[in-house]
Amino acid sequence: MAIRISHAGAAAMALTLGLAAPGAALAEWQPDRPVELVVSAGPGGGSDIFTRVVQAALTKNGLVKTPLLVVNKPGGSGSEAFAYAKDNPSSAYKVYFGTQDAYVLPLTTKVNYAYSDLKPLAAMVSDVFILWANPKTSGINTAKDFIDKAKAAPGKVRAAGAKAKDADETVITLVERATGTDIAYIPYKSGSEAAIQVAGGHIEANTNNPSESLEQWKAGNQKPLCVFTSQRLADKTVVADGMSWADIPTCVEAGIDVKDFLQPRTVWMGKDAPAEAAAYFTDLMKKVMETPEFKEYAARNVQIVKFQTGDEYKAFLDKQIANYNEIYKANGWLLPSQ
């Protein structure tokens, strides 16, 4: 029996199909050629390690069908990576990996991009910060030793970190403010470079995430002095020197009143990236969180695991930017337009 559809019914059906189509497209889109995973740091740093773990987790677990190419762009303290996003605003084949650098660099430095040039996808984990030294070359065994040495020689004791006017230098300025010291901050392209400088005895201390100094600690070339969290880390597995992560005192315990300074690991695309591509990669990052490789990475580096996306992620970013604005204003780092 033939079914007759009125003009009004046909129009309603067409409208319904039209409304359903975008959702279907969001669900069906997948890359059909290689995807660049662009890192805002050099090889060996925390952001590079993070990105390569994501790459390995996606590949080993068959979550992607196309090649994933890690591209390091450490220039300009990482701004080169996000300027690349500005130059490729609508690309569905470039995903950017960084930290708070994506939104703090434009606050302090004349970079070739603005925060508005980026599309936020997700924050996946947060790294803690630890103050490290090499006792064999510096004679610094505790956080108190570090502060005493800095007070005895204002501006002479050096602390290394990744990039200038970013998280590592920010935490050093907070240490200076809390202890009344003057510490010489020396920036490098990545946390791994900073760790090597301390391990070699060229710099007295550094502020690194666990992943960036872990191997140097195991090799006996660095020692964790204190962790910038309000509570001690939970992991009691012995790492080196008979110490576990849980044995590291908080910096507050050690006499430095700086706590809960964390570094989020963030994921972005260009501002005009297709919605279906952004949805695809956001979902992919959520799947990565459940893989053995990523869980092992987060546990090994004693990270705080919390996946944020959508409105929750945007609210987090707004709060982060406000906090950094306050700190940078106190440091005299804000650009005149801020």
What pLDDT is recorded for position 190?
82
Query: pLDDT tens for residues 25-60?
Result: 445 899 999 999 999 988 887 899 999 999 999 999
Average pLDDT value for residue range 168-187: 96
Beta pairing partners, 298: none
The structural domains of the chain, ordered by start, are 34-126+262-331 (3.40.190.150), 130-247 (3.40.190.10)
Axis-axis angle for helices 79-87, 101-108 (nearest 10) = 100
- pLDDT exceeding 70 applies to what percent of the chain? 91
Distance from C-alpha of 73 to C-alpha of 82, rounded to nearest angstrom: 9
What pLDDT is recorded for position 22?
42
Query: pLDDT tens for residues 180-202?
Result: 999 999 999 888 899 999 999 99
Tell me the average pLDDT of the chain. 90
Average pLDDT value for residue range 269-277: 98
Dihedral of the alpha carbons of 178, 182, 185, 191, in degrees to the nearest 10: -40
Q: Read off the pLDDT band of 208 (50, 70, 90).
A: confident
Helix/strand/coil for 7:
helix
Query: pLDDT tens for residues 237-263?
Result: 999 999 999 999 999 999 999 988 999
Distance from C-alpha of 117 to C-alpha of 89, rounded to nearest angstrom: 7
Average pLDDT value for residue range 156-181: 93
What pLDDT is recorded for position 27?
54
What pLDDT is recorded for position 20?
38
Distance from C-alpha of 266 to C-alpha of 124, rounded to nearest angstrom: 6
Q: Does the structure show a pLDDT above 60 at 3?
A: no
Structure tokens at 327: 């700190």
Q: Read off the pLDDT band of 301 (50, 70, 90).
A: confident
CB 105 within 8 A of CB 320: no
Q: Read off the pLDDT band of 1 (50, 70, 90).
A: very low
- CB count, 10 Å around CB of 12? 12
What pLDDT is recorded for position 338?
62
What pLDDT is recorded for position 46?
84
Residues written for the chain: 338
What pLDDT is recorded for position 165?
86
Distance from C-alpha of 27 to C-alpha of 138, rounded to nearest angstrom: 56
Of the listed ranges 7-16, 214-223, 296-305, the one predicted with least confidence: 7-16
Distance from C-alpha of 71 to C-alpha of 90, rounded to nearest angstrom: 18
What pLDDT is recorded for position 184?
98
